[in-house]
């Protein structure tokens, strides 16, 4: 009996320590912006709005959040649209070597937007005059995300019985009508997952915008974050924490909304 109680106490303590490990940074993120002189320690805030005031007056902070929004939503749209069409075609048309193609694409995709391809990508962007252009950046980011997105969506498409589409075909629906009326609604959880995943990916991407955007007015929040230092080269904790909070809230809100509406799933299958 005693052993059991001791065991329970030990287990609960372990969980508490683990939880604290992950909770502390979040707590810090919640309290530091409201503190006049934050340190690396979590402290009871004195509820000042001064830090938010400063961020609002910062010339690049709020615009950078808007830039992040443009980049991530733009990329998500391109990825969802192209991945849906490609995954549908790949799922329904049997090409020789299709699976090999998919795996190779998936493998290469991790390189495309990774550090390894930095120099050639930069070169390419310069040659195509896509340097310092948000549109160009959206295309490149989409290119990096598409293979994985196609791969995931194809699984959803594969799990959708063909008879739905065939039934619509016999009623006279055109291929685009079939995609709009039947396929898209059936794989909607998949599309939502891909969209959120794309947004989150772009939202947190530092390297690509840092590399390909020159104009500081076009930079997204992830890059601006690195400029929030004091004159002495120290991290400006007041600004960093406040900006960090503003930076993370949209992603959390988006996740909650989409999760409630569609539920996240990374595999196919139909919820009837």
Which residue ranges make up the site for another protein (CB under 8 A)? 161, 163-164, 166-174, 177, 181-182, 185-186, 188, 270-272
The residue among 13 and 177 lying less far from another protein, judged by its C-beta, is 177
CB 249 within 8 A of CB 136: no
The residue among 140 and 192 lying less far from another protein, judged by its C-beta, is 192
The residue among 100 and 170 lying less far from another protein, judged by its C-beta, is 170
Beta bridge partners of residue 235, listed in sequence order: 229
The nearest distance, CB 261 to another protein, in angstroms, is 14
The nearest distance, CB 82 to another protein, in angstroms, is 23
Measure the CA–CA gap between 44 and 99, rounded to whole angstroms: 55
Host H or E run for residue 222: helix 221-224
The residue among 58 and 169 lying less far from another protein, judged by its C-beta, is 169
The nearest distance, CB 180 to another protein, in angstroms, is 11
The nearest distance, CB 164 to another protein, in angstroms, is 5
Query: Which residue reads 């252009």 in tokens?
Result: 133
The nearest distance, CB 76 to another protein, in angstroms, is 22
Helix (H, G, I), strand (E, B) or coil at 31: helix
Tell me, rounded to whole angstroms, the distance of Cα 194 from its chain centroid: 9
The residue among 97 and 233 lying less far from another protein, judged by its C-beta, is 97
Measure the CA–CA gap between 209 and 118, rounded to whole angstroms: 11
- At CA 152, angle to CA 147 and CA 153, rounded to 5? 95
CB 247 within 8 A of CB 33: no
């Amino acid at each position: 009996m005693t052993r059991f109680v001791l065991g329970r106490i030990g287990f609960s303590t372990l969980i508490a320590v683990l939880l604290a490990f992950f909770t502390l940074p979040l707590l810090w993120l919640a309290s530091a912006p409201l503190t006049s002189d934050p340190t690396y320690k979590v402290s009871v805030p004195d509820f000042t709005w001064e830090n938010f005031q400063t961020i609002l007056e910062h010339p690049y902070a709020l615009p950078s959040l808007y830039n992040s929004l443009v980049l991530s939503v733009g990329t998500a749209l391109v990825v969802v649209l192209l991945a849906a069409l490609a995954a549908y075609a790949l799922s329904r048309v049997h090409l020789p070597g299709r699976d090999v193609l998919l795996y190779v694409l998936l493998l290469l995709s991790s390189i495309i937007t990774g550090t390894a391809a930095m120099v050639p990508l930069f070169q390419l962007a310069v040659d195509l005059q896509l340097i310092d252009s948000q549109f160009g950046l959206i295309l490149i980011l989409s290119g990096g995300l598409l293979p994985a997105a196609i791969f995931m969506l194809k699984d959803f498409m594969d799990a959708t019985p063909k008879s739905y589409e065939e039934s619509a075909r016999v009623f006279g629906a055109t291929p685009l009508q079939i995609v709009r009326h039947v396929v898209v609604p059936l794989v909607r959880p998949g599309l939502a997952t891909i969209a959120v995943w794309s947004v989150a990916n772009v939202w947190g991407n530092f390297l690509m915008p840092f590399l390909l955007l020159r104009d500081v007015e076009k930079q997204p929040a992830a890059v601006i974050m690195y400029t929030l230092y004091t004159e002495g080269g120290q991290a400006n904790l007041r600004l960093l924490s406040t900006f960090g909070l503003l930076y993370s809230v949209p992603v959390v809100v988006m996740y909650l909304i989409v999760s409630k509406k569609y539920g996240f799933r990374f595999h196919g299958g139909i919820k009837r």
